[in-house]
């Protein structure tokens, strides 16, 4: 039996062929390994080149694949038929070939079992791919054809004699002979992985059939789809559960999240991962150890979070979206996260198991992989019900001998290769960040404002509630009414109200964050202002509008006492001074700077005339305080310039705008170099100064966004607020769109544009509660965008608005309204020279009203902290109480390093500590932390998330 191949020699046979040619050649060779054909021929098939094939052949059966015909001499086929050979032409598929061969050669009733036939056909496939692998790269074959032929025919003979055991033994020996031919050149072990991808559309009979037939399945399925499986397809759920109980299924698990993990706060992202993992545990009583996402969504946080959630490996590609890293020499890498955590990750992108071309090219790929890879791996992927003849042949091969490699489960793969791979760390720019496009494409409601609402409501409320409950618990108050946590804490600190409390209640302020808070309070309902004390910065102002500024210590409280008859009044320029009571640990209490704002202070907002040249002037509204001076153009309403005392050049400009769709931008008559080309600009209709100070200044600008052709794109109202002793300009915007945002959400939108004059500033983003460098043009930073230099910075406090687009080196658009967005009101801030942007961004999210309540009475200590994190680059994200047998036993705190540098510090408690432990997110102890009296001595590396359990003495 002879098969022709389309090249001058087998060693130079190109594996880069289209799907049809690959199927022709694979089918032609493997079909001839049908045991009935081998039995009739009494020898195994052979190859010969179509370009130099001899006329003098003595083969009875000749297969001419269609891709070889044009290479043969014109009369070659005719002459072979005259010599008595049976020549088969125009056959492209193995089943089609066998349907022709067997009847025409008189062996249709061969009597061989289909399973036995399938094993021999798999031997033919393994023979071809192994021989091609060796000869393509080593130009010689070490296969002992004589020995192989003897084993093949002994197996057939034993089968005919009814000796099944010997038949199987000889067939296994034949597979081992094929395997040995590779091991002369490639003695190392190679791995083959089959990934079964599962979607709701592939539930049903094909999936159940796969579960019944296979002994090992690597199932790549979304936890959301899996959770719906019991109701969507009860039969498939029952079959899958039985397969799991039999140990046949190894899961690749994902997070329980429909949105981008990157946009969530770090602990919320971790909870999504744990929620996803719990689906597999709850439904099938398994603990998945490998994480993966069918679509894009990986990020640099994941190695750390996955380690803390108990995962041992990850899939570093997205099979449904086609995302992968650039071609690598290694199949595995040690994935290094932004904090330095390491996790094994498979990076070898899978081949399409239904592609003939990919299997024909497998020898070439595998050869190069084996040559340089520490864990040589070939990966295949398919959906249930998809036919893959060649993969099925390789799976059969695996039952006898690993000729091309050993198939293994995904969990077993990571255990076997745990020390292989090079360390690789990828920044945020390496991962796709198009969650806005995905949300718009999938028709999600409010793709932008969803995140702003999440951060300002759910995230803040969850943090406040957890921390206040913790503080209540450690103070001995366990019967907390969860809708009145702050009041309960006030009662715990101040005690029960006594009868002599005045009608004018004292104010209790609690700070749930681990950094100090500066709160501006309106006390207009008080008949008089309180006296100025250490935590209070007092403004002298009119009776009808009273404000105070209070500095609240980290994780502590302040009680503001109402004025008494002995206190100063509005007419008294020197209010009475009160002695500051001691805190629990006065030596650790960072005393806030108190500063009286006198009557002579400049108003926070004033109208000025700026001289442009000898003939003209410009009307500006100047917003100013101790730190900066911002100028609003009265004609167009934009923030034209921003100055500080240290830098008298313009540092920032800001304006609202509408980036028109591409077809409208093309009609813009402005010069292509004009940065405003394609934008509808601002035009102010009315400017109202609502408040000029002395503590708060507020200005409202009403106007239009006007296209270059004069059309009105939107009406807007923008309110800017500045405060004494605050480095933040608060911005509230209401937009009434008159023109729709374009279909491409990153290219057409309503937004706010920032422009700065220093192209040396580094762009950092507030992602996952930390500050990280961002290099891409499309940014996803829901907490802030920080423009940082060596000595100064400008920070956009985005307040949960996650999507930003960078233009060049000095412009940034923050998207407010994209396609599908229904919200019209937005809030953000501009921070000037913020030393630590993470605390500022968290404080900007906070609603002070959540922390304020009437105090039952004046406590002995009017200001104190309860816990103290002595490192400015470390933030406590959340506190949780540990209560055992109705008694406080300790607490759990989640610390995060935010600035990308090491931190060594004491975490002090107002109660003495007995023990401190670093734990993972499953509650398992990682290591013990040294305790010294009231302090746990913490050592953290850059961007580390440290869950910590503290137990009181």
Tokens of 859: 């406590």
Alpha-carbon gap, residue 610 to 15, rounded angstroms:
75
pLDDT value for 868: 92
Residues 716 and 733: beta-carbon distance below 8 Å: yes
Contacts 24+ apart (CB under 8 A), 572-577: 573/540, 573/598, 573/599, 575/529, 575/531, 575/532, 575/538, 576/531, 577/531, 577/532, 577/533
Please give the structure tokens belonging to residue 185: 């050149």
HSE value, Cβ hemisphere, 13 Å, CA-based, for 394: 25
Residue 581: pLDDT band by 50, 70, 90 thresholds? very low
pLDDT in tens, 113-138: 999 999 999 999 999 998 888 876 66
- Residue 190 is predicted with a pLDDT of 87
Q: Which residue has the tokens 């108050």?
A: 477
Going by pLDDT thresholds of 50, 70 and 90, the confidence category of residue 292 is very high
SS3 849: helix
* Residue 613 CB neighbour total at 10 angstroms: 6
- Per 3-state DSSP, the chain is made up of helix, strand and coil in percentages (nearest 5) of 30, 30, 40
Rounded to whole angstroms, the Cα distance separating 923 from 440 reads 38
The neighbouring-strand residues paired with 334 are 344, 423
752-781 pLDDT, tens digit each: 999 998 888 999 999 999 999 998 899 999
Q: What is the mean pLDDT of residues 542-571?
A: 70
Q: Who contacts 639 (Cβ-Cβ below 8 Å, separation ≥6)?
A: 630, 631, 632, 633, 652, 653, 654, 655, 720, 729
Give the predicted TM-score (pTM) of the model.
Answer: 0.89
pLDDT at residue 572 in the model: 40
Q: How far apart are CA 795 and CA 85, in angstroms?
A: 83
* pLDDT tens column, 915-947: 999 999 999 999 999 999 999 999 999 999 999
> Is residue 926 within 8 Å of 897, Cβ to Cβ?
no
Q: How far apart are CA 918 and CA 941, in angstroms?
A: 14
* Token code pair at residue 738: 């008159």
- φ, ψ of residue 413 to 5 degrees: the values are -60, -45
DSSP-derived letter for residue 318 is: B
Return the pLDDT at 377.
Answer: 92
| Beta strand spans in 142-216 (E) | 191-198
What's the pLDDT at 601? 65
Q: How far out from the chain centre does Cα 72 lie? A: 56
Name the residue among 879, 871, 841, 837 with its Cα closest to residue 942.
871
Q: What gap in Å lies between CA 857 and CA 801, rounded to an integer?
A: 40
Q: Which residues contact 95 (CB under 8 A, 6 or more apart)?
A: none
The answer to whether 28 and 63 have CB atoms below 8 angstroms apart is yes
| Contact status, residue 197 vs residue 217, Cβ threshold 8 Å | no
Contact 769, 839 (CB under 8 A): no
Query: What is the pLDDT, as a whole number, of residue 665?
Result: 85
Q: Tell me, what's the pLDDT at 537?
A: 67
Q: Which residues of 649-682 are buried (b: 16+ CB within 10 A; e: fewer)?
A: eebbbbbbbbbbbeebbeebeeeeeeeeebbbbb
Q: Answer whether residue 480 shows pLDDT above 60.
A: no
* pLDDT of residue 619 exceeding 60: yes
Task: Extract the tokens encoding 744.
Answer: 């491409």
**How far, in Å, CA of 743 to CA of 739, rounded?**
12
What does the pLDDT read at residue 224? 93
Taking alpha carbons only, the member of 766, 751, 755 closest to residue 815 is 751
Confidence at residue 564, expressed as pLDDT on a 0 to 100 scale: 64
Q: Using one digit for the tens of pLDDT, what is the confidence trace for 400-437?
A: 988 888 999 999 999 999 888 889 999 888 888 778 88
Q: How far does the chain reach from its first CA to its final CA, in angstroms?
A: 86
50-95 pLDDT per residue, tens:
887 877 787 788 999 999 888 888 888 888 888 888 889 889 899 9
**Pair 569, 532: CB distance under 8 Å:** no
Q: 482, exposed or middle or buried, with CB in 10 Å at 0-12, 13-18, 19+?
A: exposed
Q: Which helix (H) or strand (E) holds 161?
A: none
**Strand intervals (E) in 6-68:** 46-49, 61-64
pLDDT at 851: 74
Measured distance CA(603)–CA(629) in Å, rounded: 12
Give me the helix-helix angle, 234-245 and 266-284, nearest 10°: 90
Mean per-residue pLDDT of the chain:
87
Distance CA 485, CA 879 (A): 14
Dist CA 196 CA 57 (whole Å): 46
pLDDT digits (tens, 9 = 90+) for 190-226: 899 999 999 999 999 999 999 999 989 999 999 999 9
- Please give the average per-residue pLDDT across 156-166, as a whole number: 94
Distances from the Cα of 368 to the Cα of 138, 186, 604, angstroms: 12, 11, 70
Beta bridge partners of 691: 698
More confident residue, 462 or 772: 772
Contact 493, 859 (CB under 8 A): yes
Q: Are strands 342-346 and 191-198 parallel, antiparallel or unpaired?
A: unpaired
| pLDDT, tens digit (0-9, with 9 covering 90-100), for 314-323 | 999 999 988 9
DSSP state of 12: G
CB atoms under 10 Å from CB of 461, counted, come to: 12
Which CA distances in Å does 483 have to 468, 810, 877? 11, 46, 21
Name beta bridge partners: 887.
Answer: 884
Q: Can you give the pLDDT at residue 597? A: 47
pLDDT of residue 383: 95
Residue among 728, 730, 753, 734 nearest 815 (CA): 753
What does the pLDDT look like over 682-720, one tens digit per residue?
999 999 999 987 889 999 999 999 998 889 999 999 999
476: enclosing H helix or E strand: none
What are the pLDDT digits (tens) for 811-852? 999 999 999 999 999 999 999 999 999 999 999 987 666 678
pLDDT at position 515 over 80? yes
Closest residue by Cα to residue 713 from 687, 688, 746, 676: 676
CA separation for the pair 239, 422 (Å, rounded)? 39
As a whole-number percent, the residues of the chain with pLDDT over 90 amount to 56
Q: What's the CA gap between 340 and 425, in Å, rounded? A: 8
Long-range contacts of 112-118 (CB under 8 A, 24+ apart): 112/35, 112/36, 112/159, 116/35, 116/159, 116/167, 117/34, 117/35, 117/36, 118/392, 118/396
Close Cβ partners of 86 (under 8 Å, ≥ 6 residues apart): 60, 61, 62, 104, 105
Asked whether 875 and 896 are in contact (CB, 8 A), the reply is yes
User: Which letter, b or e, does each residue of 774-787 get, where b requires 16 or more Cβ atoms within 10 Å of its Cβ?
Assistant: bebebbbbbbbbbb
Tokens of 126: 């393994």
DSSP one-letter code for 323: B
Question: Which residues are paired to 509 by β-bridges?
Answer: 558, 852
Is-contact 681 705, C-beta < 8 A?
yes
As a residue count, the chain comes to 953
Q: Does the pLDDT of residue 185 top 80, yes or no? A: no
């Amino acid at each position: 039996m002879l098969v022709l191949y389309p090249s001058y020699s087998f060693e130079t046979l190109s594996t880069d062929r289209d799907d049809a040619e690959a199927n022709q050649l694979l089918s032609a060779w493997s079909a001839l390994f049908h045991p009935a054909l081998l039995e009739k021929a009494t020898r195994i098939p052979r190859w010969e080149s179509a370009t130099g094939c001899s006329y003098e052949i003595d083969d009875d059966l000749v297969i001419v694949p269609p891709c070889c015909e044009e290479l043969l001499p014109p009369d070659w086929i005719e002459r072979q038929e005259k010599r008595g050979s049976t020549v088969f032409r125009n056959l492209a598929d193995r089943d089609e070939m066998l349907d022709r061969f067997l009847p025409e050669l008189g062996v249709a009733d061969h009597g061989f079992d289909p399973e036995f036939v399938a094993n021999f056909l798999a031997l033919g496939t393994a023979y071809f791919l192994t021989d091609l692998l060796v000869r393509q790269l080593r130009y010689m074959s070490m296969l002992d054809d004589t020995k192989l032929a003897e084993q093949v025919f002994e197996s057939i003979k034993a089968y005919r004699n009814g000796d099944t055991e010997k038949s199987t033994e000889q067939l296994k020996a034949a597979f081992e002979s094929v395997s040995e031919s590779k091991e002369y050149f490639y003695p190392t072990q190679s791995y083959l992985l089959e990934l079964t991808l599962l979607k709701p559309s592939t539930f049903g009979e094909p999936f159940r059939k796969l579960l019944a037939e296979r002994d090992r399945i690597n199932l790549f399925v979304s936890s959301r789809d899996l959770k719906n499986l019991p109701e969507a397809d009860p039969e498939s759920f029952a079959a899958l559960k039985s397969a799991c109980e039999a140990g046949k299924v190894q899961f690749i698990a994902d997070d329980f999240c429909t949105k981008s993990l990157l946009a969530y706060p770090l602990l919320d992202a971790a909870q999504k991962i744990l929620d996803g993992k719990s689906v597999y545990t709850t439904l099938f009583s398994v603990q998945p150890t490998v994480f993966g996402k069918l679509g894009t969504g990986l990020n640099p946080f994941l190695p750390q979070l996955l380690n803390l959630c108990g995962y041992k490996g990850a899939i570093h590609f997205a099979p449904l979206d086609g995302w992968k890293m650039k071609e690598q020499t290694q199949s595995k890498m040690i994935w290094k996260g932004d904090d330095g955590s390491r996790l094994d990750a498979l990076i070898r992108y899978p081949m399409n198991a239904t592609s003939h071309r990919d299997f024909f090219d497998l020898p070439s790929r595998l050869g190069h992989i084996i040559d340089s890879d520490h864990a040589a791996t070939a990966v295949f992927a398919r959906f249930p019900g998809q036919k893959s003849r060649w993969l099925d042949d390789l799976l059969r091969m695996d039952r006898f001998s690993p000729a091309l490699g050993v198939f293994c489960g995904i969990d077993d793969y990571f255990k076997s290769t745990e020390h292989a791979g090079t360390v690789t760390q990828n920044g945020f720019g390496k991962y796709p960040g198009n969650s806005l496009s995905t949300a718009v494409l999938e028709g999600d409601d409010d793709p932008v404002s969803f995140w702003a609402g999440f951060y300002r409501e759910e995230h803040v409320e969850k943090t406040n509630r957890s921390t206040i409950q913790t503080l209540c618990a450690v103070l001995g108050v366990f019967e907390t009414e969860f809708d009145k946590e702050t009041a309960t804490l006030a009662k715990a600190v101040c005690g029960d109200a006594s009868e002599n409390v005045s009608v004018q209640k004292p104010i209790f302020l609690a700070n749930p964050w681990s950094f100090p808070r500066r709160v501006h309070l309106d006390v207009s309902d008080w008949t008089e202002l309180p006296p100025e004390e250490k935590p209070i910065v007092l403004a002298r102002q009119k009776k009808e509008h009273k404000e105070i500024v209070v500095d609240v210590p980290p994780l502590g409280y302040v009680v503001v006492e109402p004025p008494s008859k002995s206190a100063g009044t509005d007419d008294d320029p020197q209010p009475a001074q009160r002695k500051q009571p001691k805190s629990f640990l006065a030596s650790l209490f960072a005393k806030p700077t108190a500063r009286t704002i006198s009557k002579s202070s400049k108003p926070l907002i004033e109208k000025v005339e700026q001289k442009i040249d000898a003939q003209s002037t410009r009307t500006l509204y100047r917003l100013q305080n101790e730190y900066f001076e911002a100028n609003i153009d009265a004609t167009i309403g934009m923030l034209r310039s921003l100055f500080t005392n240290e830098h008298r050049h313009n540092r920032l400009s800001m304006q609202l705008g509408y980036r028109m769709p591409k077809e409208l931008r093309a009609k813009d008559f402005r010069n292509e170099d004009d940065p405003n080309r394609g934008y509808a600009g601002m035009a102010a209709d009315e400017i109202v100064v609502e408040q000029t100070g002395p503590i708060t200044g507020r200005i409202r600008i009403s106007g239009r966004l006007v296209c270059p052709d004069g059309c009105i794109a939107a009406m807007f109202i923008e309110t800017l607020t500045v405060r004494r002793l605050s480095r933040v300009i608060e911005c509230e915007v209401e937009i009434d769109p008159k023109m729709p945002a374009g279909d491409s959400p990153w290219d057409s939108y309503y937004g706010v544009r920032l422009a700065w004059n220093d192209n040396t500033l580094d762009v950092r983003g507030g992602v996952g509660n930390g500050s990280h460098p961002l290099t891409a043009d499309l940014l996803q930073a829901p907490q802030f965008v920080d423009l940082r230099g060596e000595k100064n910075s400008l920070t956009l406090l985005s307040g949960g608005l996650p999507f930003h687009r960078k233009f060049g080196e000095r412009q940034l658009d923050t998207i407010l309204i994209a396609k599908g967005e229904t919200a019209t009101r937005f809030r953000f801030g501009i921070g000037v020279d913020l030393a630590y942007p993470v605390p500022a961004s968290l404080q900007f999210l906070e609603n002070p009203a959540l922390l304020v309540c009437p105090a039952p009475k004046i406590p002995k200590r009017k200001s104190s902290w309860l816990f103290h994190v002595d490192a400015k680059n470390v933030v406590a994200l959340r506190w949780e109480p540990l209560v055992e047998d109705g008694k406080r036993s300790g607490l759990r705190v989640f610390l995060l390093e935010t600035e990308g540098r090491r931190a060594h510090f004491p975490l002090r408690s107002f109660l003495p500590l007995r023990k401190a432990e670093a734990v993972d997110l499953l509650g398992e102890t990682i290591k013990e932390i040294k305790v010294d009296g009231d302090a746990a001595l913490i050592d953290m590396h850059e961007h580390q998330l440290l869950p910590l359990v503290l137990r009181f003495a």
